[in-house]
Structure 1
Amino acid sequence: MAETTDSEKPVYKFESLGVHAGLSRKENVSFVFENSAHGAAIFNMTAEAFCYSRIANPTVSVFEARMAALEGGEAALATSSGSAALFTTITALAQRGSNIVVASSVSESTAHILKHRLPPLGINARFVENGSIEKVGEAVDKDTKFVLAESISGDELFVSDIEALAEAAHSKGIPFIVDNTAGAGGFLIRPIDHGADIVIQDASPWISISGSNSAGIIIDSGKFDWSQSPERFPQFFEPSPGFHGLKIWEKFGKLSFISYARAAIMRDTGPCLNPFEAFQLIAGLETLSVRLERISSNSLKLAEWLRDNERVVAVRYPGLSKHATFRLNTKYLKRGYGGLLSVSLAGSPDILQRLPGKLKLVSLGQSIGGSRTIIVPQSGGSSEANPTVWISVGLESIDDIIADLKQALPNSEK
Structure 2
Amino acid sequence: MSKSYGFDTLQIHAGARPDPATGARQTPIYQTTAYVFRDADHAAALFNLQEVGYIYSRLTNPTVAVLGERIATLEGGVGAVCCSSGHAAQIMALFPLMGPGRNIIASTRLYGGTITQFSQTIKRFGWSAKFVDTDDLDAVKAAIDDDTRAIFCETIANPGGYVSDIPALAKVADAAGIPLIVDNTSATPWLCRPIEMGATLVVHSTTKYLTGNGTVTGGAIVDSGKFDWSASAKFPSLSAPEPAYHGLRFHETFGALAFTFHGIAIGLRDLGMTMNPQGAHYTLMGIETLSLRMERHVANARKVAEWLENDPRVEFVTYAGLPSSPYYERAQKICPKGAGALFTFAVKGGYAACVKLVDSLDLFSNVANLGDTRSLIIHSASTTHRQLTEEQQIAAGAAPNVVRLSIGIEDADDIIADLDQALAKATA
Instruction: Give the TM-score, by structure 1 length.
Output: 0.92
Determine the structure 2 residue equivalent to 1:304.
306
Is 2:413 aligned against 1:399? yes
Q: Measure the CA separation in 1 of the matches of 2:88 and 2:359.
A: 36
Q: One-letter code of the match for 2:76? A: G
Q: Quote how far apart the aligned CAs of 1:68 are.
A: 0.4
Residues 266, 378 of structure 1: alpha-carbon distance in 2 compared, 3 angstrom cutoff: same
Q: Measure the CA separation in 1 of the matches of 2:85 and 2:119.
A: 19
Match of residue 248, structure 1, among 224, 247, 250: 250
Contact 2:78–2:256 (CA<8 Å) still a contact in 1? Answer: no
Q: Quote how far apart the aligned CAs of 1:180 are.
A: 0.7
Q: Measure the CA separation in 1 of the matches of 2:13 and 2:201.
A: 23
Q: Measure the CA separation in 2 of the matches of 1:325 and 1:175.
A: 24
Match of residue 121, structure 2, among 117, 136, 158: 117
Contact 1:348–1:384 (CA<8 Å) still a contact in 2? Answer: no
Determine the structure 1 residue equivalent to 2:26.
none
Q: Quote how far apart the aligned CAs of 1:37 are.
A: 3.2
Q: Which runs of 5+ in 1 are unaligned?
A: 1-5
Q: One-letter code of the match for 1:203? A: T
Determine the structure 2 residue equivalent to 1:3.
none
Q: Measure the CA separation in 2 of the matches of 1:384 and 1:132.
A: 20
Structure 1 residues 383-407: Cα deviation after superposition (integer angstroms, max 9, x where no partner): 9996211111011100111111112
Residues 112, 331 of structure 1: alpha-carbon distance in 2 compared, 3 angstrom cutoff: same
SS in 2 for 1:78: strand
Match of residue 282, structure 1, among 284, 304, 308: 284
Match of residue 126, structure 1, among 126, 130, 136: 130
Q: Quote how far apart the aligned CAs of 1:58 are.
A: 0.5
Q: One-letter code of the match for 1:12? A: Y
Deviates more, 1:94-103 or 1:292-301: 94-103
Q: Measure the CA separation in 1 of the matches of 2:337 and 2:350.
A: 36
Instruction: Give the TM-score, by structure 2 length.
Output: 0.89
Determine the structure 2 residue equivalent to 1:291.
293
Deviates more, 1:342-351 or 1:67-76: 342-351
Is 2:104 aligned against 1:100? yes
Residues 385, 24 of structure 1: alpha-carbon distance in 2 compared, 3 angstrom cutoff: closer
SS in 2 for 1:272: coil
Q: Measure the CA separation in 1 of the matches of 2:47 and 2:99.
A: 24
Q: Measure the CA separation in 2 of the matches of 1:211 and 1:338.
A: 18
Q: Measure the CA separation in 2 of the matches of 1:250 and 1:197.
A: 18
Give matches, 1:134-283, under 5 Å.
134-184=138-188, 186-229=189-232, 231-283=233-285
- % of aligned pairs identical? 37
SS in 1 for 2:142: helix
Match of residue 45, structure 2, among 17, 41, 48: 41
Deviates more, 1:84-93 or 1:380-389: 380-389
Contact 2:155–2:183 (CA<8 Å) still a contact in 1? Answer: yes
Q: Which runs of 5+ in 2 are unaligned?
A: 22-29, 386-392
Contact 1:378–1:390 (CA<8 Å) still a contact in 2? Answer: yes
Contact 2:358–2:377 (CA<8 Å) still a contact in 1? Answer: no
Q: One-letter code of the match for 1:40? A: A
Q: Quote how far apart the aligned CAs of 1:33 are.
A: 0.9
Contact 1:77–1:262 (CA<8 Å) still a contact in 2? Answer: yes
Q: Measure the CA separation in 2 of the matches of 1:395 and 1:159.
A: 22
Contact 2:331–2:338 (CA<8 Å) still a contact in 1? Answer: no
Residues 375, 22 of structure 1: alpha-carbon distance in 2 compared, 3 angstrom cutoff: same
SS in 2 for 1:411: helix
Q: Quote how far apart the aligned CAs of 1:130 are.
A: 4.0
Structure 1 residues 244-266: Cα deviation after superposition (integer angstroms, max 9, x where no partner): 22221221112212211111011
Q: Quote how far apart the aligned CAs of 1:351 are.
A: 2.6
Contact 1:239–1:246 (CA<8 Å) still a contact in 2? Answer: yes
**Alpha-carbon RMSD:** 2.2
Contact 2:358–2:378 (CA<8 Å) still a contact in 1? Answer: no
Count of matched residue positions in the alignment of Structure 1 and Structure 2? 405
Contact 1:206–1:369 (CA<8 Å) still a contact in 2? Answer: yes
Residues 256, 362 of structure 1: alpha-carbon distance in 2 compared, 3 angstrom cutoff: same
Q: One-letter code of the match for 1:16? A: T
Q: Quote how far apart the aligned CAs of 1:345 are.
A: 0.7
Deviates more, 1:240-249 or 1:259-268: 240-249
SS in 2 for 1:23: coil
SS in 2 for 1:367: coil
Determine the structure 2 residue equivalent to 1:71.
75
SS in 2 for 1:361: coil
Structure 1 residues 161-204: Cα deviation after superposition (integer angstroms, max 9, x where no partner): 111110111111111111111112x0111100111111001111
Deviates more, 1:21-30 or 1:346-355: 21-30
Structure 1 residues 310-337: Cα deviation after superposition (integer angstroms, max 9, x where no partner): 1111100110132358783430112222
Q: Measure the CA separation in 1 of the matches of 2:96 and 2:312.
A: 49
Is 2:346 aligned against 1:344? yes
Match of residue 13, structure 2, among 20, 44, 59: 20
Q: Quote how far apart the aligned CAs of 1:155 are.
A: 3.5
Residues 258, 23 of structure 1: alpha-carbon distance in 2 compared, 3 angstrom cutoff: same
Q: Quote how far apart the aligned CAs of 1:100 are.
A: 1.0
Q: Measure the CA separation in 2 of the matches of 1:344 and 1:245.
A: 56
Structure 1 residues 84-107: Cα deviation after superposition (integer angstroms, max 9, x where no partner): 000111112101011111245211
Q: Measure the CA separation in 1 of the matches of 2:154 and 2:359.
A: 34
Runs (4+) off by over 6 Å: 26-30, 382-385
Contact 1:82–1:202 (CA<8 Å) still a contact in 2? Answer: yes
Determine the structure 1 residue equivalent to 2:61.
57
Determine the structure 2 residue equivalent to 1:387.
401
Contact 1:54–1:270 (CA<8 Å) still a contact in 2? Answer: yes
Residues 409, 242 of structure 1: alpha-carbon distance in 2 compared, 3 angstrom cutoff: same
